Amino acid sequence: EDQVTQSPEALRLQEGESSSLNCSYTVSGLRGLFWYRQDPGKGPEFLFTLYSAGEEKEKERLKATLTKKESFLHITAPKPEDSATYLCAVDQGAQKLVFGQGTRLTINP
Amino acid sequence: GAVVSQHPSRVICKSGTSVKIECRSLDFQATTMFWYRQFPKKSLMLMATSNEGSKATYEQGVEKDKFLINHASLTLSTLTVTSAHPEDSSFYICSARELGRRDQPQHFGDGTRLSIL
Q: Which residues of chain A have pLDDT under 50?
A: none
Chain B hits for A96, CB-CB cut-off 8 Å, are 34, 46, 49
Greatest Cα pair distance, chain B, in angstroms, is: 43
Chain A hits for B113, CB-CB cut-off 8 Å, are 41
**Which of B11, B23, B32, B44 is most worth mutating to test chain A (most A CB atoms within 10 A of its CB)?**
B44
Q: Could you please report the per-residue DSSP string of A18-81?
A: -EEEEEEEE-SS---EEEEEE-TTS--EEEEEE-STT-EEEETTEEEEE-SSEEEEEE-S--GG
Q: Could you please report the per-residue DSSP string of A3-18?
A: EEEEE-SEEEEETT--
**pLDDT for the residue A95:** 80
Chain A hits for B97, CB-CB cut-off 8 Å, are 95
**pLDDT for the residue B105:** 87
| Residue whose C-alpha is closest to residue A33's, from A76, A68, A83 | A68
**pLDDT for the residue B1:** 63
Facing residue for B43 by CB, picked from A42, A49, A100:
A100
The percent of residues above 70 in pLDDT, for chain B, comes to: 98
| Residue whose C-alpha is closest to residue B46's, from A45, A94, A96 | A96
Strand-strand pairing, B32-38 and B44-51: antiparallel
| Residue whose C-alpha is closest to residue B2's, from B112, B99, B111 | B99
